[in-house]
Chains A and B, each alone.
Chain A
Amino acid sequence: MTPDLLAYALRLGDDALIAAQRTAEWIAAAPQLEEDVALGNIGLDQLGQARSLLTYAGELEGAGRTEDDLAYFRDERDFTNLQICELPNGDFGHAMARLLYFATYQHLLYDELRTSSDEILAGVAGKAVKEVAYHVDHATQWVLRLGDGTDESHGRMQAGLDALWPYTAEMFASDELVRRLDVAVDPASLEEEWHRRVTEVIDASTCTRPASTYQHSGGREGRHTEHLGHLLAELQHVARSHPGASW
Chain B
Amino acid sequence: MVIDAKVVRAAVAEVPDPEVPVLTIDDLGVLRDLRVEDSEVVVVITPTYSGCPAMDTIRADIGVVLDQLGVERHRVETVLSPAWTTDWMSESGMAKLAEYGIAPPTGRRSVGGPVMLSLTVRCPLCGSPDTSELSRFGSTSCKSLWRCNACREPFDHFKAI
Contact = CB atoms under 8 A, between A and B. Distances in A.
Interface of A: 34-35, 37-38, 40-42, 44-49, 51-52, 111, 114, 119-120, 122-124, 126-131, 133-134, 136-138, 141
Given A48-B51, A127-B50, A138 B80 contact: no
B20 interface: no
B51 A45 contact: yes
A44 B81 contact: no
Nearest to B84: A127
Contacts of A137: 114-115, 136
A12 to B, nearest CB: 12
A37 B51 contact: no
A123 B84 CA distance: 11
Given A38-B137, A40-B137, A130-B111, 8 more contacts: A37-B138, A41-B137, A41-B140, A45-B141, A48-B47, A123-B83, A124-B80, A127-B47
Contacts of B136: 38, 134, 137-138, 141
A204 to B, nearest CB: 14
A46 B83 CA distance: 16
Contacts of A131: 49-50, 141, 161
Interface residues of B, number: 30
A46 B135 contact: no
A125 B140 CA distance: 21
Interface residues of chain A: helix, strand, loop or mixed (majority): helix
A44 B53 CA distance: 9
A134 B115 contact: yes
User: Which of B51, B81, B83, B159 has the most chain A CB atoms closer than 10 A to its own CB?
Assistant: B51
A71 to B, nearest CB: 14
A105 B56 CA distance: 30
A48 B136 CA distance: 19
A127 B113 CA distance: 13
B80 A42 contact: no
Contacts of A37: 135, 137-139, 145
A114 B159 CA distance: 22
Nearest to A141: B136
Contact of A51 (B50, B81, B141): B50
B95 interface: no
B29 to A, nearest CB: 14
Given A47-B51, A124-B80, A41 B141 contact: yes
A124 B113 CA distance: 17
A28 to B, nearest CB: 15
A122 B50 CA distance: 13
Interface in B73-119: 79-85, 109, 111-115
